[in-house]
Amino acid sequence: MNLAVHTTRTMLHGAVEIDITGHTAICDPSGALYLEADRILIVSDLHFEKGSSFARRGMMLPPYDTASTLKVLAACIARYHPTCVISLGDSFHDGDAAARLPEIYARQLAALMQGRDWIWITGNHDPDHPADLPGDTYRELAFGSLVFRHEPSKGSPLGEIAGHLHPAAKVVRRGQAVQRRCFVSDHTRMIMPAFGAYTGGLNVLGRAFHGLFDGTNLKAYMLGHNRVYPMLRKALYP
């Protein structure tokens, strides 16, 4: 297959449709990925309770990250009505975060989980099943020609969808540099943007991404306020 002929299609809600090893995937401006044919919604690096985790170490952040992340997640679920949600690891910022989730947020999360399958992929921040929450937990999960895991593996495993690296892309427009969270893919694998409210980003041209993608076919799908912007490798800046 000549991957260079693959194109993207802009859809309603500013989302972009792409192909990953024969699976049609929708990149949503929120940072969620939706497999329409299978009704699976994928998010990564929610980092629930990051604010309270920092507070326990004396670094005070506004305690609104979980509420903000849940609000965006709820809007995504209402938009796509998935039958399954996969969270690709680092769903919680530390191993105790699920246990200290405020009751109001725990109820909101439980309501989002109700009536659909929910899969927690373990991450480096949350290596165990989240306390007192339903759902199934896996280190990685294979689905058809796709495999879901938290940390991307070196080499070029076909169909890998991973998170962990918090990808971001930089472009220059009218002399101004703009950096945004992004999906990054070469149509054989994808690394998801971090979904959580207090998560930063690593430039996709940085060392952490070396060897993960075919540079000829690499695209960054940058997240704007209301739409996704596909960018070729040659348009990106380190």
Domain count for the chain, please give it: 1
1: in domain: no
Asked, for residue 135, whether it belongs to a domain, the answer is yes
Residue 178 covered by a domain:
yes
Query: Does residue 189 belong to any structural domain of this protein?
Result: yes
Residue 2 counted as domain residue: no
Residue 213 covered by a domain: yes
CATH label of the domain that carries residue 15: 3.60.21
Quick check: is 4 in a domain?
no
Do the bridges between strand 84-87 and strand 23-27 make them parallel or antiparallel, or are there none, so unpaired? unpaired
Element (H, E) at 150: none
Does 158 fall in a domain? yes
Q: Given this model, what pLDDT does residue 59 score?
A: 67
* Number of helical (H) and strand (E) elements in the chain, helices listed first: 3, 17
- From first to last of the 238 residues of the chain, give the pLDDT tens digit: 233 334 566 677 899 999 999 999 999 999 999 999 999 999 999 999 997 876 676 766 677 899 999 999 999 999 999 999 999 999 999 999 999 999 999 999 999 999 999 999 999 999 999 999 999 999 999 999 999 999 999 876 899 999 999 999 999 988 899 999 999 999 999 999 999 998 989 999 999 999 999 888 999 999 998 999 999 999 999 9
| DSSP label at residue 106 | H
Place of tokens 């759902």: 135
Residue 172 pairs in a beta bridge with 177
Range of 116's domain? 9-235
Region of 197 please: left (phi>0), alpha (psi -120 to 50) or beta. Answer: alpha
**pLDDT given at position 8:** 66
Neighbours of 196 (CB within 10 A): 27
